[in-house]
């Protein structure tokens, strides 16, 4: 078992600005604080993973080759700062497919854990939607809701209970590093 801890991120609304069925790499734009937060976590020894639902493929809006171009462009933006993913996993299915890999189902994290040999219950899940928080809960991870993307609305609705509610990925990194160093229990942190 890999002793390294991992932080699992949603993509749209968490790392990059939400676009309706993003299909053009030139529309990829990092949310402020993402580079700083990812760099902090990487330098502290955390593994970094992205898990994302991409039903635009299943709906025929774009294909897997186009998605690979989007992800390559995203990696190029982060690579300038020396940030690399340990893994990037996506579900191409629509909700009607009822697959095991579409968030909040745990299939993508289970695959990542198998590939990289880590314990998902010792990880952190960061996202802006209920499905991200439910995904983290499904594997026993610490959950962080960012207020970017849909996160502000989700936090205000109060229908989910993440372990932490934070401003953005930078603040998520701060909380994760503090949580990890002190072994703090599940306490809601509101920014």
Domain limits of the chain? 6-182
* pTM listed for this prediction: 0.94
- What whole-number distance in Å separates Cα of residue 13 and Cα of residue 17? 5
Structural contact between residues 130 and 111, judged by C-beta atoms closer than 8 angstroms:
no
Structural contact between residues 52 and 68, judged by C-beta atoms closer than 8 angstroms:
no
Among 10, 86, 128, 168, the active-site one is 10
**pLDDT at site 186:** 45
Q: Which among 133, 121, 117 is positioned nearest to 51, based on CA atoms?
A: 133
Give the tens place of pLDDT for each residue, 107-153: 999 999 999 999 999 999 999 999 999 999 999 999 999 999 999 99
CATH topology of domain 6-182: Rossmann fold (3.40.50)
Whether 128 is catalytic: no
**pLDDT at site 183:** 60
The residue whose two tokens read 């993402």 is 34
Output the average pLDDT for the chain. 94
Whether 12 is catalytic: yes
Task: Decide the pairing of beta strands 124-127 and 6-9.
Answer: parallel
Going from the first residue of the chain to its last (191 residues), give the mean pLDDT of each consecutive group of 10, the final group possibly shorter: 91 96 95 98 97 96 96 96 96 96 97 97 97 98 98 96 98 96 55 50
Among 12, 128, 132, 180, the active-site one is 12
């Amino acid at each position: 078992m890999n002793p390294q801890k991992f932080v699992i991120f949603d993509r749209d609304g968490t790392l990059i600005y939400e676009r309706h069925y993003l299909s053009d790499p030139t529309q990829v734009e990092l949310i402020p604080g993402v580079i700083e937060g990812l760099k902090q976590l990487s330098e502290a020894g955390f593994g970094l993973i992205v898990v994302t639902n991409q039903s635009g493929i299943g709906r025929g809006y774009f294909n897997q080759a186009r998605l690979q171009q989007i992800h390559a462009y995203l990696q190029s933006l982060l690579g300038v700062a020396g940030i690399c993913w340990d893994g990037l996993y996506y579900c191409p299915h629509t909700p009607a497919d009822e697959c095991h890999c579409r968030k909040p189902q745990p299939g993508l994290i289970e695959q990542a854990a198998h590939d990289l040999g880590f314990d998902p219950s010792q990880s952190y899940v960061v996202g802006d939607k209920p499905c991200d928080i439910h995904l983290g809960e499904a594997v026993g991870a610490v959950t962080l809701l960012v207020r970017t993307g849909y996160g502000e609305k989700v936090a205000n609705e109060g229908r989910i209970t993440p372990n932490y509610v934070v401003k953005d990925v930078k603040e998520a990194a701060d909380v994760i590093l503090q949580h990890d160093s002190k072994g703090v229990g599940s306490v809601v942190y509101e920014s």
